[in-house]
Amino acid sequence: MEVRVQNIRKEFGRFPALNDVSLDIRSGELIALLGPSGSGKTTLLRLIAGLESPTEGTVFFGDEDASRKTVQQRNIGFVFQHYALFRHMTVLDNVSFGLTIRPADRRPSNAEIRRRAGELLDLVQLSGLEKRYPAQLSGGQRQRVALARAMAVEPNVLLLDEPFGALDAQVRKELRRWLREIHDRTGHTTVFVTHDQDEALELADRVVVMSKGKIEQIGTPDEIYDTPNSPFVFGFIGQSNMLPVRIENGQLLMGDQPVGVSAPGEADGAAHLYFRPHDIELLDGEGSISGTVVVTRRVAGTRHVELDIGATGTKVEIELPPEKFTSDRARIAFRPTRWKLFRT
């Protein structure tokens, strides 16, 4: 189901957690709310769920105004970071809970409930563990039970609050791929909150980057990574370097040194130059950024080199293929190949 959030504002006491946020979620989409803690992403998710009510603004489910509906009426599936399973119930009872508490006229027969719960446990690959209690499961298994429980009520939208946040890295990676598979198979409109950019970029159809109660950028993972539209997004997504520069006649200067980057048509003045550590090429001569090697680290397939680039005392980090770097090199000159300017 389509979900539209319109001009939502939420205040806790005097503190604005969300400020005029609007977001359209397409039906069947897997969307990630990404941001540092305190950015309002969890608040937005809880507003869609109905666990919080907005100070101003509206939430639409399809064409229906859901803002006035209670959580119970919205028919959503919510998965919490710490599972929030009912610990006195078996796995099967946990998954069936949403169906068994329905009023008699909307409740499927017991056999039907058991069949559906069994199907879902199959889907989350937990068949055979129906009789276990949550305490007898691993973290990853518990989160899968929580997901099955949320899907059992055939929700309009599936909302996941840092679903893998409490799991260790290995399990997290596995579950990520698995969640994508489940989504592709069931087609639920899904919104998940994360502060892990890898998770967001790898998993989501579209990523919503949030900061300080506002949406910074909405886009596909490619758009977000390749064309960040603000210094915040550039700095928050992936690795990046920032250099203070001056523009003169379409040329970028750092101090008095040319950076080796031209920006024709840019007005003169001060700006910040952003580039990614791997978007560079090594140069031999002048007209480039050069610096002394401070420290180098080998990270998987690349070598990370930290450079001290002279007078300003700024340090930048670049990534090189290991064969391009020999340990006797004390000075490196380079030029960004892809970059973005933000005026100061």
Give dist(CA 72, CA 106) in Å, integer.
Answer: 14
Question: For residues 75 and 230, which CB has a smaller minimum distance to another protein in the complex?
Answer: 75
Q: Applying CB under 8 A, which of residues 4, 41, 149, 335 lies at the interface with another protein?
A: 149
φ, ψ (nearest 5 deg) of residue 162: 40, 60
| Contact status, residue 22 vs residue 6, Cβ threshold 8 Å | yes
**With respect to another protein, which residue has the nearer C-beta, 78 or 325?**
78
SS3 content of the chain, % helix, strand, coil (to 5): 30, 35, 35
Least spacing, CB of residue 158 vs another protein, in Å: 11
Q: 60 or 97: whose CB is closer to another protein?
A: 97
Site for another protein in 181-240 (CB under 8 A): none
Number of residues forming the site for another protein (CB under 8 A): 29
Nearer CB in complex with another protein: 135/330: 135
CB of 4 to another protein, least distance (A): 20
Write down the least CB distance from residue 110 to another protein, Å: 16
Q: Dihedral sign, CA of 219, 220, 225, 226? A: negative
293 DSSP β-pair partners: 307
User: Whole-number minimum distance, CB 254 to another protein, in Å?
Assistant: 50
Beta strand residue intervals within the chain, DSSP E: 3-12, 15-25, 30-34, 56-61, 64-65, 77-79, 158-161, 190-194, 206-211, 214-219, 241-248, 251-254, 257-262, 269-275, 280-283, 289-299, 302-308, 315-320, 331-336, 340-343
Site track for another protein across 42-71, x = CB under 8 A? -------x-x-------------------x
Task: Give min distance, CB of 30 to another protein, in A.
Answer: 19
Contact between 127 and 135 under an 8 Å Cβ cutoff? The reply is no
Contact flag: residue 1 with another protein (CB under 8 A): no
Residue 330 vs residues 51, 210, 308: alpha-carbon distances, Å? 57, 40, 11
Closer to another protein by Cβ: residue 161 or 216: 161
DSSP SS3 for 203: helix
| CB nearer another protein, residue 17 or residue 145 | 145
Pairing of strands 289-299, 331-336: antiparallel
* C-beta of 5 vs 332, nearer to another protein: 5
3-state secondary structure of 269: strand
The CA–CA distances, whole Å, from 182 to 151, 231, 235 equal 11, 35, 32
- CA nearest 50: which of 121, 141, 184, 155? 155
- Nearest CB to another protein, comparing residues 82 and 324: 82
Min dist CB 47 to another protein, Å, is 13
User: 74 to 103, contacts with another protein by CB under 8 A?
Assistant: 75-78, 80, 82, 84-89, 97-98, 101-102
What is the DSSP-derived secondary structure letter of residue 33? E
How near is the Cβ of 46 to another protein at its closest, in Å? 9
The answer to whether the CB of 202 falls within 8 A of the CB of 176 is yes
**Among 6-14, 112-120, 149-157, 178-186, the segment contacting another protein (CB under 8 A):** 149-157
Least CB distance to another protein at residue 132 (A): 10
128: left (phi over 0), alpha (psi -120 to 50) or beta: left
Site string for another protein, 119-148 (x = CB under 8 A): --------------xxxx---------x--
Beta bridge partner(s), residue 58: 6
- Binding pattern for the stretch 151-170 against another protein, x by CB under 8 A and - elsewhere: -xx-----------------
Please report, as ranges, the residues that interact with another protein according to CB under 8 A: 49, 51, 71-72, 75-78, 80, 82, 84-89, 97-98, 101-102, 133-136, 146, 149-150, 152-153
